Chains A and B, each alone.
Chain A
């Protein structure tokens, strides 16, 4: 892990793109402006963090902006990890996809499945993703089940004995 000083230095290099820096339980986290996520990851790649280990989605309900996307970067040479966190609101959950190659440098092909999962579960739309479909839930599914306001057991289950009643309700 970069220590607290290392995190300050990286934060300074990135300038205005960094909104906040957290050092918690030996884990360095950069809170980043959603518009700059590709630039920040490219900068960190140039600094040795060449492996994107994981992408997580989060819902910070009831805090705003609610949705979070977390990128775990790994430097295999120095065995060092850094976390980049982006927050987007639910009414405009847009974010640049980091999967494809772009003008600002090569992409991270490993993020493809993981961004699809974040879209599936939280509804974050990744602009420019090569295959922006759901991955775990059925394609015709409505809603994003990992959001905190989506109830557990919110999925109605159709049993044979209720079939007639269901069909009536649909008409």
Chain B
């Protein structure tokens, strides 16, 4: 301890220069420039899946970066063309494996637009509840794994602890923990069971407190702050040109959110805020997503409070299965059931694009119907696929260690990228 009250350790730490590395490396004419090409991934724990990055380094500074994808391409879009509409739902759910409800929602929304099916209000509210729960679960996985990349192990365990509660809720309402197939064309497959509301309220009570705890741990952690603050920023204009949406765009100060801008599934009936950042660095990206967890909790609270009575799926028997008890008494119901299960429903010819706000940005489903019971084309505009293009402009000229943090904050899901 010296006179200024700053310890020697602190002084040593403050003397570390934080100027951009690009300026630190002096380059004189005549010197041979030496670049090192390294292959990062596809099997590297910090790539969040099987993402391969071809990186050109000058010292420790990233000069060039090429993402190489396609390792988990499973031809889901091709498979979808070979199945009737209601059988496509479980297939598309497996694209972005952390936000399965969103994939199903985008597809169902596109088909509902084409077939002009009205979704009853109760179904819309139930959808909102599950979408926002899924957003929380997705953000928890993102937070846990990202901070794990920065070297903190415990947050991962805490995040998975809370995600477990969400998965328990999914299991309660649909019988499955992941890839639930809960959303159907015209509504949802089943009403929420007895006791779901009580369990959901318990979760809503506990989640904001736990999120407070994450914030308390991370926002006062010097390592996290040094790794995130001011690293790899990109301004909103560049992000828009690159097609980036979602928390990454909001972190740069542009409050674009389809839930507010073009509300679907009665999002206009809820009161919530859109967290935005200021400079668009890694810290803002982290802070935006963490703040979104609170907003999702608020939306679910309102949706649960105002859950309307009524049917949970459309009563249009040409699209939705008749209730089980009708099959024993009604010949017509039996015929409808048989037709739907064997052939599926037909959708009039046309094309539709249905965009929604997924945890990673604009998730749009494009469906072309040719009048038969199978879609002629299903295409997902996956936000991870488009956002990945912003990685190179973000990390150019920064340290390779910051690249790891940026990949984590980009939150790419390879299942969604490769489809």
Contacts and interface: CB of A to CB of B under 8 A. Distances in A.
Interface of A: 24-27, 29, 50-54, 56-59, 70, 72, 76, 79, 81, 83, 108-114, 117, 121, 134-138, 145-146, 148, 150, 152
Contacts of B353: 27, 54, 56, 72, 81, 83
Nearest to B72: A136
Minimum-distance CB pairs A-B, first 10: A110-B243, A54-B381, A136-B70, A136-B73, A56-B379, A56-B366, A79-B261, A152-B82, A110-B242, A58-B377
Which of A26, A29, A134, A135 has the most CB atoms of chain B within a 10 A radius of its CB? A135
B351 A24 contact: yes
Interface residues of B, number: 39
Contacts of A24: 350-351
A145 B241 contact: no
Contact of B243 (A53, A57, A81): A53
Nearest to A147: B78
Interface string B212-246: 00000000000000000000000000001111100
B127 to A, nearest CB: 20
Nearest to A106: B241
Given A72-B381, A146-B78, 19 more contacts: A24-B351, A53-B362, A53-B364, A54-B386, A58-B377, A72-B353, A76-B261, A79-B262, A83-B351, A109-B242, A111-B243, A114-B385, A135-B69, A136-B70, A137-B73, A145-B78, A148-B81, A148-B376, A152-B79
Nearest to A120: B70
B84 to A, nearest CB: 14
B295 to A, nearest CB: 20
Contact of A54 (B73, B364, B377): B364
Interface in B360-374: 362, 364, 366, 368
Contact of B386 (A29, A110, A134): A110
A54 B69 CA distance: 18
Judged by DSSP, the binding face of B is mixed
Contacts of B256: 76
Nearest to B352: A25
A79 B73 CA distance: 33
B241 A110 contact: yes
A113 B389 contact: yes
A35 B286 CA distance: 44
Interface in B186-236: none
Contacts of A29: 351
Nearest to B355: A53
A110 B389 contact: yes
B252 to A, nearest CB: 14
B79 A138 contact: no
